[in-house]
Structure 1
Amino acid sequence: MNSLVPAPLGVLVRVWPKLSETFILEEVLGLERKGVGLRLYALDAPTDAIAHDAVARVRSPLQRVAAAVATREMVARHARLAAAGPIGYLGALATALRRGRAGWRDFVRAGWLAAQLRDDGVRHLHVHFISAPADIAQLAAHIAGIPFSISAHAKDIYLSRPLDLRRKLQAARFTVTCTEANRATLAAIAPQAPVRLMYHGIDREVFHPSRRTGAPAQEAPLIVAVGRLRAKKGLDTLIDACRLLHERGERVRCEIVGYGEEHDALARHIASAGLADHVRLAGKLPRDQVLECYARAAVFVQPSRIAADGDRDGIPNVLLEAMAMGLPVVASRVSGIPELVQDGVNGLLVEPDAAPALANAISQLLRQPQQAAAFGERARATVAGAFDNDVNLGTLVGLLATSHVCGAQCALVGG
């Protein structure tokens, strides 16, 4: 590789593209805008039939990591790596075998990836999610003789064993995570590991108050929620709150955008509450249609909870999007959400699983439009001040430059 050409940064994800992982899409687009050369690697093929239109703007090449099967190419790649760096290869193999069968499968895939990283001239690998993807990244980096780093998010932290988290945190050059609550959790598990807070950011020009149209005057005010249909999202609590509002005689409609394993249970909940004409499961939508939902909404609701298995949100990107649009928001006092929503300042916070409190907060915003508008303006200002994508990515670029990964290129774009 020409020494005058900066080495690309490798970025490993589980799936690319993925409809619900707009934070990764925004990061890739932001790094490209900053001039950082990227190579994208995905462990699995996409499962969504649709994709956000912004995916088409990504210029970086993508490679799918081969499955853990003994093909001729897989064997050839491993043989080449073992011959070129036997110490690193055997060290990674020993690390993998201590994890049993899962470790062996990861090692096979990591060898394929390590060979590809060398062929692509990648000198640093950055992986999203500290769960299974980071296991493969740790092995691939060890085999390839390069450093790796981690972006840790939510489920991947709270559903992982502390021992596994510690191993990867200590092996990584650095770890970034998207809430202070996450950072404190990881720092307690591995006090000596470098863990930095890096909030997700969004494109404030895409999510802009000028897009808001409001609902037609003859229609009831629209409540919107967006997210995977999972227990941790607390959407059953939102349905209960809508039932309470209707029982009080308040005219409201609700659209819940998203998909997931809770779909049928939520549909039954809507029917049993007698809300079939008022609460709609909108399903899986691309970003332009999600923007239309924000545009028509009167209130955005994020009724998150900590699920029975410990899973929880960090700071949902959809909450950032709604606030950037100038929407008044009601959210649960869970995990990293209070780092974004200040109760009574730029939105309202309620306790999780508290349908009466959620209904009261929604009603307050609908009945007090001037307060709701003031919250929306402050919400937009909060996102602009602390959750700008290009600004926050400076943290990642600076860490890469400090660790001498992309040298002058990162120093230049991070400045």
Structure 2
Amino acid sequence: MTQDTNARPVAYLTGDYPKVSHTFILREVQAVRAAGVPVITCSIRQPPASEFKGREEQEARAETFYVIAAAKHPVRLLKAHGRALVRSPGTWLSTLTLAIRMRSPGLKAFFWQLFYFLEAGVLSDHLRRNNVRHLHNHFGNSSCSVAILAAKLAGIPFSFTEHGPAIFFEVDRWSLPEKIARAQFVVAITHFCRSQLMLFSDPVHWPKIAIVHCGLDPALYRREAPTFGKRVAFVGRLDPVKGALLLIEAMAGAWHIERRPLRGLHDPAASR
């Protein structure tokens, strides 16, 4: 008996999961499950224990399939690719060809693509054993390079969410136009992100690029009456790319804010 398509799980993939600075992925997985869609989680690498601060992160770690950890077992790696080759030699060879074609210039890049192909074989085997119907990846860089190959080997569609902006400076390195073209749909987190994805893709693919903002569920937090003091707390990764310094300068134009040292894990330049 064929399993109902809607009952088959979707898989989420990213480079490091769960991770303190990637709680939006954890929240998205929880929301998709709450909507009645079964989800399995996969990650290329296993983050260090310091990333598993709370109960939710620890539970997410326990249920996540880690690709590199699995691929390090030679027998498992050979069996996964052996099954894919026997099942469809043409698909296996065309996926290898795609991996090589997507490489950027240089011998190092060539070998990286071979690594992605090997990882994709292990991941696709896991997806097939779990009867996954769709693979969704966060970030368009290395994990997406594995996702596009794994989905092809597994014979399922894939999609990805792009956050930017770093990848827009390395479009050729990560074969972004190819990934957009082959994806069933692409998610951009902002209008700017969507505009850049449109810039680097054929207009025929623009309709499948949707905007889904990262956000919070207000029901999870207690509301308190607003207060108007002279201090502002910024909760987030203190990395220049996050724009915290611009936010402080912008708010300083409206209110007088007491200057305090920045605390947390951040680039030393952010303290200046």
TM-score, normalization: structure 2? 0.82
Match of 1:321 in 2: none
Match of 1:307 in 2: none
Aligned mate of 2:129, from 105, 110, 119: 119
Q: Pick which of 98-107 and 112-121 moved more.
A: 98-107
Residue 198 of structure 2 corresponds to residue 203 of structure 1 = no
1:205 & 1:57 partners in 2: Cα distance? 22
Residue 36 of structure 2 corresponds to residue 35 of structure 1 = yes
AA in 2 matched with 1:152: E
Cα 1:165–1:238, aligned 2, differ >3 Å: closer, same or farther? Answer: closer
Name the SS of the counterpart of 1:46 in structure 2. Answer: coil
Match of 1:176 in 2: 187
Cα 1:83–1:251, aligned 2, differ >3 Å: closer, same or farther? Answer: closer
Match of 2:168 in 1: 158
- Matches for 1:174-323 after TM superposition, within 5 Å: 174-190=185-201, 191-193=203-205, 194-210=208-224, 221-235=230-244, 252=258, 254=260, 256=262, 258-260=264-266, 262=267, 264-267=268-271, 269=272
Name the SS of the counterpart of 1:209 in structure 2. Answer: coil
**1:265-313 superposed Cα distances (whole Å, 9 cap, x missing partner):** 444x3xxxxxxxxxxxxxxxxxxxxxxxxxxxxxxxxxxxxxxxxxxxx
2:159, 2:183 within 8 Å by CA — same for their partners in 1? Answer: yes
What is the deviation of 1:206?
2.0
Cα 1:183–1:222, aligned 2, differ >3 Å: closer, same or farther? Answer: same
Aligned mate of 2:90, from 84, 87, 91: 87
1:103 & 1:161 partners in 2: Cα distance? 16
Gap runs ≥5 in structure 1:
270-415
What is the deviation of 1:231?
2.4
What is the deviation of 1:132?
1.1
1:125, 1:146 within 8 Å by CA — same for their partners in 2? Answer: yes
What is the deviation of 1:236?
5.2
1:227, 1:257 within 8 Å by CA — same for their partners in 2? Answer: no
Cα 1:152–1:66, aligned 2, differ >3 Å: closer, same or farther? Answer: same
Residue 149 of structure 2 corresponds to residue 146 of structure 1 = no
1:66 & 1:60 partners in 2: Cα distance? 16
Residue 94 of structure 2 corresponds to residue 110 of structure 1 = no
1:54 & 1:37 partners in 2: Cα distance? 17
Name the SS of the counterpart of 1:17 in structure 2. Answer: coil
Name the SS of the counterpart of 1:24 in structure 2. Answer: helix
**1:371-392 superposed Cα distances (whole Å, 9 cap, x missing partner):** xxxxxxxxxxxxxxxxxxxxxx
1:205 & 1:12 partners in 2: Cα distance? 27
AA in 2 matched with 1:72: V
Cα 1:54–1:170, aligned 2, differ >3 Å: closer, same or farther? Answer: same
Name the SS of the counterpart of 1:223 in structure 2. Answer: coil
Equivalent pairs, count: 257
What is the deviation of 1:153?
1.0
2:232, 2:257 within 8 Å by CA — same for their partners in 1? Answer: no
1:26, 1:201 within 8 Å by CA — same for their partners in 2? Answer: no
Cα 1:7–1:258, aligned 2, differ >3 Å: closer, same or farther? Answer: farther
2:186, 2:210 within 8 Å by CA — same for their partners in 1? Answer: yes
Aligned mate of 1:61, from 55, 60, 63: 63
1:152, 1:175 within 8 Å by CA — same for their partners in 2? Answer: yes
2:15, 2:44 within 8 Å by CA — same for their partners in 1? Answer: yes
1:223 & 1:135 partners in 2: Cα distance? 40
2:239, 2:270 within 8 Å by CA — same for their partners in 1? Answer: no
RMSD: 3.1
What is the deviation of 1:145?
1.0
Gap runs ≥5 in structure 2:
104-109
2:165, 2:193 within 8 Å by CA — same for their partners in 1? Answer: no
Name the SS of the counterpart of 1:226 in structure 2. Answer: coil
Name the SS of the counterpart of 1:21 in structure 2. Answer: helix
What is the deviation of 1:84?
0.7
Name the SS of the counterpart of 2:13 in structure 1. Answer: strand
TM-score, normalization: structure 1? 0.55
Sequence identity of aligned pairs in percent? Answer: 29
AA in 2 matched with 1:89: W
What is the deviation of 1:55?
3.4
